[in-house]
Amino acid sequence: MTLLGELPSLHVEMLSRIRAADSELTDRFAEKMQVNRHLDRTLVSYQGNRAQIGHRWCKYREGFSAELVRYVIERMGLRRGKILDPFGGSGTALFVAAEHGLDAVGIELLPSSAEIVGVRHAILQTNGKKLAKQIRAAAADRGWLQPGDRKLFPHLRITEGAFPEENERHLGRFLFDAAETRDKLLSRVLRFAAMCVLEQISFTRKDGQYLRWDQRSGRCLGKKLFDKGKIYTFDEAISDKLRQIADDIEGRGWEPSLFAPDDAGPDNLGNIEMITGSCLDVLPKMKARSISALITSPPYCNRYDYTRTYALELAMMGVGEDGIRRLRQTMLTCTVENRDKPDLPQKFGQETFRRASEAFESQTVLRLVLEYLEQCKQDGTINNPGIVRMVRNYFFELALLIFASARVLKSGAPFVMVNDNVRYQGAHVPVDLILSDFAEQAGYTVETIWVLPRGKGNSSQQMGVHGREEVRKCVYVWRRQ
């Protein structure tokens, strides 16, 4: 095993400077950092939504749990106003805010994720009993097993061969019948149900940076064969999903249902608005001092490519090859394939761009990390040269968003963010503290940084070179001055 002492002397020296600057920054925020034993990794991930009515319909791995949002709303004492989530995802923050009578607006780039919110919101506005009855009738009919016309799945290159032949045939029959359904909401819900089971009926599994292919597909990458376990038949998967959705709409689950409340009707729920697009485009145009709280979890600085992990869902939504490329380059930089965005000064305005640039350039730990990664790129020790550009642009774009959000938040409004620290080439990147430094310069008070009792380890590749070292998982709470 190659340990730190066996690294090139220049690397050791640069890592030592990073550690010293990291320690100094940690000391600066030490009084704000608190281990919060009410939080755990389940709450700050999608796992907490597995049993949550409505939230459990579609597996969205990159979100936080409804329980975390409830915890934040209660701790922050939010009773009125409008909540913003600029990385809306599957809408967890929006729907929990609505439960509490708060209005909510979300911004989401991926059409497939925005559709989750759109369908759930549409269901809230309709006669639930009637819709549930229609869904059950469609499930009982099982028309997808009958001969007839079918809709071809609009595959992307990276999704070709994703389904067993029989599953794709039944999926096509189902999608054809859904498209022919006269009731527009029922048609939309049926298509949504099919989108929710795509992974279950495919040879693939979402795995962060890409789709992992089961060995039965004939497309298994690498020497180690992967077996995802049971691949459900379309009949099994869609029957269960339709039943689940109908049960949740009727409130037959084991917890109170947002869709069939006992004491409150839809009139008591807050309004929900989802804007499909990039927050880099939308946030700078939002009305100043219009938002009472911001609760979000942006993409992490971890190379995850959402256009790959959600390729099946995006394909079904009709996003073609050109659309995938546009989405990949439009989203917040978090993958090595992202390129520079030259139009940011025009989008954010010269003053916001200047202030964010000054905050970015003055951040000592970040500057040292980028210098070190650039050195690793030059001497060929980094496993992908695009990492340097990715880390640089990730933090710069988030700096812009932090400064822009300070304009739209009301005085005293909380900004709550869930994010992970990361490590590259042995260099710990304290995302929580770097972004908190940006926040202070943007006019926020860092109220607290909730540290989860248990962090996460570095990758097996990094452990082999730099040893095992846990990195923090945190929830940051800033307050607009």
Q: What is the pLDDT of residues 319-361, one digit of tens each?
A: 999 999 999 999 999 999 999 999 999 999 999 999 999 999 9
Same-domain check for residues 105 and 134: no
Same domain, residue pair 228 and 343: no
226 with 296, same domain: the answer is: no
Task: Give a yes or no: residue 73 inside a domain.
Answer: yes
- Say how far residue 233 (Cα) sits from the centre of its chain: 28
Strand order in the sheet with 103-108: 33-35, 444-451, 473-480, 414-420, 293-296, 82-85, 103-108, 272-276
Q: H or E element: which one contains 448?
A: strand 444-451
Domain that holds residue 333: 4-111+271-309+319-480
Low-confidence ranges of the chain (pLDDT < 50): 1-2, 4, 48-49, 254-256, 261-265, 458-467
Residues 209 and 300 in one domain: no
The answer to whether residues 291 and 124 touch, using CB atoms and an 8 Å cutoff, is: no
The H or E element spanning position 106 is strand 103-108
pLDDT in tens, 229-244: 999 999 999 999 999 9
User: Whole-angstrom Cα distance, residue 331 to residue 310?
Assistant: 14
CB 51 within 8 A of CB 67: no
Residues 163 and 304 in one domain: no
Please tell me whether residues 346 and 467 are part of one structural domain.
yes
Q: Give a yes or no: residue 280 inside a domain.
A: yes
Structural domains counted in the chain: 2
At residue 42, the pLDDT reads: 80
State how far the Cα of 79 lies from the Cα of 97, in Å rounded to an integer. Answer: 10
Domain-located, residue 99:
yes
**Same-domain check for residues 330 and 419:** yes
What Rg do the C-alpha atoms of the chain give, in angstroms?
23
Is there a single domain that holds both residue 467 and residue 349? yes
pLDDT of residue 30: 98
Domain of residue 13, CATH code: 3.40.50.150
Q: Taking a C-beta distance cutoff of 8 angstroms, is the pair 194, 172 a contact?
A: no
| 276 and 407 together in one domain | yes
Q: Is residue 83 part of a domain?
A: yes
Report the predicted TM-score, pTM, of the whole model to 2 decimal places.
0.91
Residue 43 lies in a domain: yes
Q: Note whether 141 and 107 are same-domain residues.
A: no
- Does 258 reside within a domain? no
User: What's the pLDDT score for residue 53?
Assistant: 62
Q: What is the largest CA-CA distance in the chain?
A: 71
Decide if 123 is inside a domain: no
* Residues 435 and 337 placed together within one structural domain of the fold: yes
Domain contains 260: no
Tens-digit pLDDT profile for residues 139-185: 999 999 999 999 999 999 999 999 999 999 999 999 999 999 999 99
Q: 346 with 216, same domain?
A: no
